[in-house]
Structure 1
Amino acid sequence: MKNLLIISPYFPPVNAADMQRVRMSLPYFASNGWNVEVVMVDEQYTDIQIDPLLLQSISSDIKIHKVKALNKRWTSKLGLGSIALRSLWFYWHKVNRLLKDGKFDLIYFSTTQFPVCILGAYWKKKFGIPYVIDMQDPWHSDYYQDKPRTQQPSKYWFSYRLNKYLEPIAIKNADGLISVSEGYIDDLKNRYSVIKNIPSAVITFGAFEPDLSIARENQTRFVSLLDARFINIVYTGRGGADMHQAIIPVFEALKKGLSDRENTFYSRLKFYFIGTSYAPAGEGKPSILPLAQQYGIADHVVEITDRISYYHTLLTLQQANGLFIPGSDNPQYTASKIYPYLLTQKPLLAVFNKKSSAIPILREYGVKHVYDYESVTGININDFFSELNTNNSESPLYNQEAIKKYSAQQMTVNQCLFFNQVLNRELKVKNKDSKY
């Protein structure tokens, strides 16, 4: 058995999207030849929503180490609110001890809190342990450079320059890259020629069936957010102006349908956009409802900016009559959230950038209504609406081979094969160097 040390600042019971890959992989690492330990930031130092039910999916025999972080109330005054920056020194101290006292073959950074990844270069130099970075999102990116300030993330000026400085420290010394998007890897290898030949792999998030059982077993804990008088179509996840191009064709079709006074079906449709802001509860600004207001359909659109817990999300998806996934105008956006939607086996409408990798995956599953926002038509969207009207209780039949291929279990197999590839390459390099 080989030993893997996973660095994941956000981890259960914290309800953060970037820990889901590790959480869903934990049950399967050992059967693929890897013992794992996780180093997380103690949840008391985070300001992300806590979901204790997430702990039910984690075996008690997994060793979890917790580190502290600087108090955000003080560091935010200096513009340092990131959990990665606030925990950096504590990670350095804790992992130094772990690497000194224990035998680890590989370090795996699986997080979007990227600044912590710079420690990989230090640990590699000090202890000779290779490391892999999981690029779930871009780290340093020019995407927002030409966007208006209202569309840029908070403190963008500072984070852009910090990321530009930190990214090469971590990436140039990495021994392998995993990503949810081929585009992310291509960008990095084009930017840093020194990593051109290191192992890399595109591995999406997987579908984790046990989560549905946990959600159903605890459904009495949650209040329904949907109005039973309507045909409810649900999207849960972040919003933003970058998704407007995918949403506009749907709103246009809904507006046209509502204008037909003789067809009362459209008046029964209601869209829900839930958890659209990363801001603290009660402080999020709507990014979808203003678009609905422009189209005069605000009575049929509900936007809840506050995030809800992961299992509340799963239950809400199961309670819906239909599901909608709008993609970003960024072609590299993959929407790893597609797998919980697929697990519910509800009628699904997805509209993405035509270059998004989500489109072929959804089509491979057998999802009928998958489009890109440049070519989707009102007829396409009305076909989806019509199916909700005539086959409201009928579940889609998905390709069983695709279900297996994109399961969390298979995604873990892919990760472990990749880890083995990284170690084999390191061994060859060391053997080659020893000859000289």
Structure 2
Amino acid sequence: MSLPYFEELGWQAEVITVDQKFTDVVKDELLLNTVPTSIPIHRVKALSKKYTAKVGLGSLALRSLWFIRKKGNELLKTKKFDLIYFSTTEFPVCILGTYWKKKFGIPYVIDMQDPWHTDYYKDKPKAERPKKYWFSYRLNKYLEPLAMKAVDGLIAVSANYIETLEQRYPRLKNKLSAVITFGAFEVDFEIATEYNEQLNLVYKAEKKQVNLVYVGRGGHDLKPALQTLFSAFKKGLKEDPQRFEKISMHFIGTSYAPKGKGEFTVKPVASDFGLTNYVSEYTDRIGFYESIKNLQNADGLMIVGSNQADYTASKLYPYILAKKPLLAVLHSGSSATKILKDCNAGYYIGIGSEEEFAFKTLSNYLEGIKNNLIPATDWEAFKPYTAKAMSEKQVKLFNEVMGFHFLNL
């Protein structure tokens, strides 16, 4: 979403990425339509997971690290670059920043889209921890300090991420940083509309039902938000059955696991409330533009957020751009809550809200759907959250890092 704007903002970009045939994530070829053709894309190899999985090594970062290093060395030896920017959640790759800075004297910036090394799961039951947690926890604890050792600037989707890193590595307090989330990219909706016929709808949009849709990850940290939502819904079934009996809630793409192997994390909570007839969970991930189609065909949209305040819910922007009635159940301290309120983009229930308040808010939201109300979003207030505005913030930090770097040479 930044690449279309970098050049007009004074920066020419080249990209190193892993060739898609070495990845096992859901692929969406249409995403390439948004990348300017003038930008060189260097696709590198990775060790085949077919073989590395036999020794328990599935991480794309570790499988591709040597190849990215090789390509980076080749580019940095033959061309002049001013800055290296790591924007990936395959965090182990970021240790190359220290290596390249020492070898070529080029400053680097790391974009923390998620926490890298975290103690969040340390006190959680084994069943709630990610697979291979023991190994990844220790690996991240070792690699993160290597990457932060010489970093020149930090970008993060949450201020809490930066504060945690500064506490862990005090030298970072003297480094440049900025909180920059993903931006809203309206072009995506134009592409989804253009290719609508070849995109799939996960759920059946039956006219007798009121289809409420959530597209995004699940996880045990969403349980408090789901409990708040389902408690209000159960009360609705009791007090206003004529309205609530028609509701069908669809949670789509809730697991990062390979197709057909995802763990249900929404259905068990629905079962606790006796709502299995009203809640469907599709664990398989879907393509980005398919997710937009599923949002556009819904009667209403839902977002449930983590019980952690630093959860940013970057997927909030497509929900707002879909211009459908929107209900969000989020932590009161989440940046997504602030964005939703600033833009008047939807109905809000705080995690852990009293059941009566949650029920009334849910009822008002459903009334809006019934009356075909378009959200009264303040689009002027929304402008700072667009992809272009976020790209301008990125470039501002790049320029500051460059100036600071040369000042200290």
Give 1:39's aligned amino acid.
I
Whole-angstrom distance in 2 between the partners of 1:406 and 1:222: 27
Alpha-carbon contact 1:327-1:351 (below 8 Å) kept: yes
User: Given the alignment of the two structures, is residue 165 of structure 1 paired with residue 142 of structure 2, yes or no?
Assistant: yes
Identity %: 51
Q: 2:316: which partner in 1?
A: 338
Give 1:279's aligned amino acid.
A
What secondary structure does 1:35 align onto? coil
Q: 1:15: which partner in 2?
A: none
Whole-angstrom distance in 2 between the partners of 1:390 and 1:185: 39
Q: 1:416: which partner in 2?
A: 395
1:43 maps to which of 8, 14, 20: 20
Q: What are the superposed Cα offsets for residues 228-281 of structure 1, whole Å, 9 maximum, x if unpaired?
A: 221111111110111010111211121122224x73111101111000000100
Gaps of 5+ in 1: 1-23, 431-436
1:251 maps to which of 230, 233, 245: 230
User: Given the alignment of the two structures, is residue 195 of structure 1 paired with residue 184 of structure 2, yes or no?
Assistant: no
CA RMSD of aligned residues (A): 1.3
Whole-angstrom distance in 2 between the partners of 1:370 and 1:82: 37
Alpha-carbon contact 1:354-1:374 (below 8 Å) kept: no
User: Given the alignment of the two structures, is residue 125 of structure 1 paired with residue 87 of structure 2, yes or no?
Assistant: no
Query: 1:139-154 alignment to 2 at 5 Å?
Result: 139-154=116-131
Give 1:41's aligned amino acid.
V
Whole-angstrom distance in 2 between the partners of 1:110 and 1:376: 39
1:209 maps to which of 182, 186, 205: 186
Whole-angstrom distance in 1 between the partners of 2:14 and 2:241: 58
Whole-angstrom distance in 2 between the partners of 1:345 and 1:112: 29
Query: 1:24-35 alignment to 2 at 5 Å?
Result: 24-35=1-12
Alpha-carbon contact 2:328-2:346 (below 8 Å) kept: no
User: Given the alignment of the two structures, is residue 366 of structure 1 paired with residue 335 of structure 2, yes or no?
Assistant: no
Alpha-carbon contact 1:276-1:307 (below 8 Å) kept: yes
User: Given the alignment of the two structures, is residue 281 of structure 1 paired with residue 255 of structure 2, yes or no?
Assistant: no
1:385 maps to which of 345, 358, 363: 363
Q: What are the superposed Cα offsets for residues 53-78 of structure 1, whole Å, 9 maximum, x if unpaired?
A: 11111121111001100011211222
Instruction: Give the C-alpha shift of residue 96 in structure 1.
Output: 0.1
Instruction: Give the C-alpha shift of residue 388 in structure 1.
Output: 2.7
What secondary structure does 2:265 align onto? coil
Q: What are the superposed Cα offsets for residues 355-381 of structure 1, whole Å, 9 maximum, x if unpaired?
A: 212111111111342232133543344
What TM-score does the superposition give when structure 2 sets the normalisation length? 0.97
Alpha-carbon contact 1:351-1:373 (below 8 Å) kept: yes
Q: 2:215: which partner in 1?
A: 236
1:226 maps to which of 192, 195, 204: 204
Instruction: Give the C-alpha shift of residue 390 in structure 1.
Output: 4.8
Q: 2:373: which partner in 1?
A: 394
Alpha-carbon contact 2:180-2:393 (below 8 Å) kept: yes
Whole-angstrom distance in 2 between the partners of 1:124 and 1:149: 39
Whole-angstrom distance in 1 between the partners of 2:369 and 2:225: 25
User: Given the alignment of the two structures, is residue 354 of structure 1 paired with residue 315 of structure 2, yes or no?
Assistant: no
Total equivalences in the alignment: 406
Instruction: Give the C-alpha shift of residue 226 in structure 1.
Output: 3.3
Give 1:179's aligned amino acid.
A
Q: 1:89: which partner in 2?
A: 66
Whole-angstrom distance in 2 between the partners of 1:103 and 1:50: 32
Q: 1:300: which partner in 2?
A: 278
Q: 2:297: which partner in 1?
A: 319
Q: 2:111: which partner in 1?
A: 134
What TM-score does the superposition give when structure 1 sets the normalisation length? 0.91
What secondary structure does 2:174 align onto? coil
Give 1:95's aligned amino acid.
G
Q: What are the superposed Cα offsets for residues 363-404 of structure 1, whole Å, 9 maximum, x if unpaired?
A: 111134223213354334433334433544221121222221
Classify 1:176/1:391 alpha carbon distance in 2 versus 1 (closer, same or farther; 3 Å). same
**Segments ≥4 residues shifted beyond 6 Å:** none
Q: What are the superposed Cα offsets for residues 133-184 of structure 1, whole Å, 9 maximum, x if unpaired?
A: 0000111000000000111000000000000000000012100000000000
Q: 1:7: which partner in 2?
A: none
Greater alpha carbon shift after TM alignment, 366-375 vs 341-350:
366-375
Alpha-carbon contact 1:85-1:116 (below 8 Å) kept: yes
Classify 1:167/1:387 alpha carbon distance in 2 versus 1 (closer, same or farther; 3 Å). closer
Whole-angstrom distance in 1 between the partners of 2:319 and 2:204: 17
Alpha-carbon contact 1:321-1:388 (below 8 Å) kept: no
1:61 maps to which of 34, 38, 58: 38
Gaps of 5+ in 2: none
Whole-angstrom distance in 1 between the partners of 2:288 and 2:222: 22
What secondary structure does 2:111 align onto? strand
Instruction: Give the C-alpha shift of residue 292 in structure 1.
Output: 0.8
1:52 maps to which of 29, 42, 47: 29
What secondary structure does 1:315 align onto? helix
Classify 1:380/1:255 alpha carbon distance in 2 versus 1 (closer, same or farther; 3 Å). closer
Classify 1:380/1:291 alpha carbon distance in 2 versus 1 (closer, same or farther; 3 Å). closer
Q: What are the superposed Cα offsets for residues 299-330 of structure 1, whole Å, 9 maximum, x if unpaired?
A: 00010000111101001111111111111112
Classify 1:317/1:395 alpha carbon distance in 2 versus 1 (closer, same or farther; 3 Å). same
User: Given the alignment of the two structures, is residue 269 of structure 1 paired with residue 247 of structure 2, yes or no?
Assistant: yes
Whole-angstrom distance in 2 between the partners of 1:36 and 1:55: 15
